[in-house]
Amino acid sequence: MLSACRCLAPCCLAILILTACATADKPSASGNSGKAPATHEATRPAQAVRPGTGKALPFADDEARRTVYFALGDTLIDSDGVEVLRLNAQRLKEDPQLVVILVGYTDNLGSAALNLAVAEKRTEAVSERLRSLGVPRNQIRRQPVGSEQSSKSKCDSESCRWSMRRVELVYERR
C-alpha cells in the first residue's frame, strides 16, 4: 500500500504540472460571453448577443445543447454527448468567427489535483471529438476547472454529482 502511494503521488504531480503548463488554450480576457464563476472568464453567465456584434451566440438560451455530461471518473463521451457535439460542430463550421471555450468540471469527490487532471482529459476528449467533426483547432480553447466550483457546493446525491461532471461549451466571437 505504501509503495502504491509513493508511485501515485509523483504521477498526480506530473499530471498537475503538465496541466498547468498548457496555458495556450485558456480564453482571452477580452471575451465576456462565457459562463462561469466570478474568478474565471469562461464561467460567467452566457449572453445571447455579445455587445457590439449584434450576432447571437449558438445555443445561448439552451444550456443542454452546450453541455456534455460524464460518468464518475470517466472521460468517454456517450451518445447524447456525441449528438450535442455534432450540433455544436455544425455551428462552428458555419461561422469561422466563433470560438468555443470548453470548460471542464468534475464533481466534489476526490482531490483537487486528481479532479483537475480528469477535467483536462474531458476537455481534451471533447476537443478531439469536435476536431474529428471538422472544427478547426483555432476555434477551440480548453479551460479545465476541475472541482474548484463543485467543492463549494453541498451535493450529496448521485444525480447532483452527475450534473457537476460536465464540459460546457461557451461561445465568444473573435
Domain count, the chain: 1
Mean pLDDT for the chain overall: 76
pLDDT at res. 54: 57
* Helix 79-94 and helix 112-132, axial crossing angle in degrees, nearest 10: 60
Q: Is the pLDDT of residue 85 over 90?
A: yes
**pTM for the structure as a whole:** 0.68
**Cα 123–chain centre separation:** 5
Q: Is the pLDDT of residue 33 over 60?
A: no
Q: Is the pLDDT of residue 44 over 50?
A: no
CATH number at residue 146: 3.30.1330.60
Residue 29 domain boundaries: 2-173
Q: Say which residue, 145 or 42, is predicted with more confidence.
A: 145
